[in-house]
Amino acid sequence: MGSQAYVATSGALARLRQLDALANNLANARTPGFKAQESVFEAVLQSTFRDTEGGLVPGAPARAFVAALPERSDFGPGPSTPTGAPLDVAIEGRGFFEVETPDGPRYTRAGHFSVNSDGQLSTSDGFAVSGEAGAYTVAWRSVIRKWG
């Protein structure tokens, strides 16, 4: 493949990855705790001739193309909207909530919590929110009113 075709193909593939990331970001824009994906690209100059140590040979023919680096997440704070729910919380600044899953601890910034059947603070998926001492247990006080 000629150098121009290679450059055009690599650029088109890089642009396709960027559009995929954009579509995913738009589809999940209202998902609590979702972190947008960013596509990062770099120009690469690849020589067809290298010396015995892998270095470029001066004056050797080369071709340029676009290389897509692994996508990265934007960990900046997203918008927070008050819900009025007593167990919904948001993190201001840096940090994550740690949750216990069958695959080990996972981290999230989504703070839509409830209390599971074991009395533990948990995510909407039922995973317990944990800290240094383990899962957080919620003690509820019930108020009994006598009518009449």
Q: How many CB atoms lie within 10 A of CB 123?
A: 21
Query: What is the pLDDT, as a whole number, of residue 103?
Result: 92
The mean per-residue pLDDT over the stretch 119-135 comes to: 85
Task: Indicate the domain borders of the chain.
Answer: 3-73, 79-148
This prediction has a pTM of 0.50
Output the DSSP codes for the chain. --HHHHHHHHHHHHHHHHHHHHHHHHHTTTSTT---EEEEEEEEEEES-B-TTSPBPTT--EEEEEEEEEEEE--S---------TTB----SS--EEEEETTEEEEE---B-EE-TTSBEE-TTSPEEEETTEEPBPPP--------
Query: What is the pLDDT, as a whole number, of residue 148?
Result: 47
Average pLDDT of the chain is 76
Q: 91 versus 70: which is more confidently predicted? A: 91
The set of residues, in sequence order, having a beta carbon less than 8 Å from that of 147 and lying 6+ positions away, is: none
